[in-house]
Structure 1
Amino acid sequence: MFDITTLSAAETSTVELLGGDDTPLFDDKGKPLSITVYGPGTKVYQRAQARQQNQLMDKIKKRGKMDQSAEDKLTEQAEFLAACTVSFNGFAYPPAQGTEGVEHFRKAYADPSIGFIAAQVAAHINDWANFTKSSAKS
C-alpha cells in the first residue's frame, strides 16, 4: 500500500523576488533577494487564514454586507502575509527600523511603494505546487 504522507507538502518555501519590472532582485554581492514563507500545509498558515476569515465574518455581521476599502484590503493582506513569513533574506526594510518579526514584515507588506513584493508573496504562498517536495526551495 502506498504511503500518501510521502507526498506531504514542505513547511516552507522561498520566493525569489522580482522588481516591479519583473527583473530579478539581487543584493550587493549578487545573491537573489528572497522571502521564506510558511505554506498552506502548516498550522501557522492555517491560523493566519482562520484569523483573516474570522475578521471578514465579523465585518459582515457588523455591516450586514461586505464592503472594504482598498486600505482595509491592503491591511488584511499585510497581516496575513506577515503572519506566514519566516524571514526576509538579503534585504532590510529600513522604514520599519526598531520593529521585529511579524510587525516588521507587516509594515513592509503594507507599503504600497513596494506592493509588487506583497503581490508576489501572496501569489506564491497560495499555490500548493510551491510547497511540493520537488519544487520547494527550503
Structure 2
Amino acid sequence: MFDITKLSANETSTVELVGGDDEPLYDDKGARLSITVYGPGTKVYQRAQARQQNLIMDKLKKRGRMDQSAEEKALEQAEFLAACTVSFNGFAYPPAKGLEGAAYFRKAYEDPTIGFIAAQVGAHIGDWANFTKSSAAS
C-alpha cells in the first residue's frame, strides 16, 4: 500500500522575484532576490487564512454586504502575506526600519510603488504546486 504522506507539501517555498518589467531581480553581488513563505499545508498559513475569512465575515455582519475598497483589499492582502512570510532574502525595506517580523513585511507589501512584489508572492503562495515535493517517478 502506498503511503500518501510521502506526497506531503513542503512547509515553505521561495519566490524568486522579478521586477515590474518581468526581469529577474538581483542584489549588488548578482544573487537573486527572493522571499521565503509558508505554504497552504502549514498551520501558519491556515491561521492567516482563517483570520482573513473572519474579517470578511465581520464586515458582512456589520454591513450586511461585502463592499470593500481597493485600498482595504490591498491592506488585507498585505496582512495575509506578511503573516505567511518567513524572510526577505537579499534585500531590505528601509522605510520599515525599526520594525520586525510581520510588521516589517506588511509595510513592504503595503507599498504600492513595489506592488509587483505582493502580486508575485500572492500568486505563488496560492499555488500548491510551489510547495509540492518533486516525485522521483515523474
TM over 0.5: yes
* Structure possessing the higher relative contact order (Cα contacts under 8 Å, 6 or more residues apart): 1
Q: For 1:81, give the aligned amino acid.
A: L
Q: Which residue of 2 aligns with 1:99?
A: 99
Instruction: Give the 4+ runs in structure 1 shifted more than 3 A.
Output: none
State how many pairs are aligned: 135
CA RMSD of aligned residues (A): 0.9
* TM-score, structure 1 normalization: 0.97
| 2:19 maps to 1:6 | no
Q: Please name the residue that 2:78 is paired with.
A: 78
Matched to 2:77, the amino acid is Q
Superposed displacement of residue 88, structure 1: 0.1
Q: TM-score, normalised by structure 2?
A: 0.97
Amino acid paired to 1:40: P
* C-alpha distance in 2 between matches for 1:134 and 1:111: 34
- The unaligned stretches of length 5 or more in structure 1 are none
The amino acid across from 2:30 in the alignment is G
Task: Show the counterpart of 2:41.
Answer: 41
- Looking at structure 1, the residues matched to 75 and 59 of structure 2 have their Cα atoms a distance apart, in angstroms, of 14
CA deviation profile, 1:41-90 (whole Å, cap 9, x unmatched): 00000000000000000001000000001110011000000000000000
Q: Residue 26 of structure 1 corresponds to which residue in structure 2?
A: 26
List aligned pairs for 1:85-124, cutoff 5 A.
Answer: 85-124=85-124
Percent of residue pairs bearing the same amino acid type = 83
Rounded to whole Å, the distance in 2 between the matches of 1:70 and 1:26 is 30
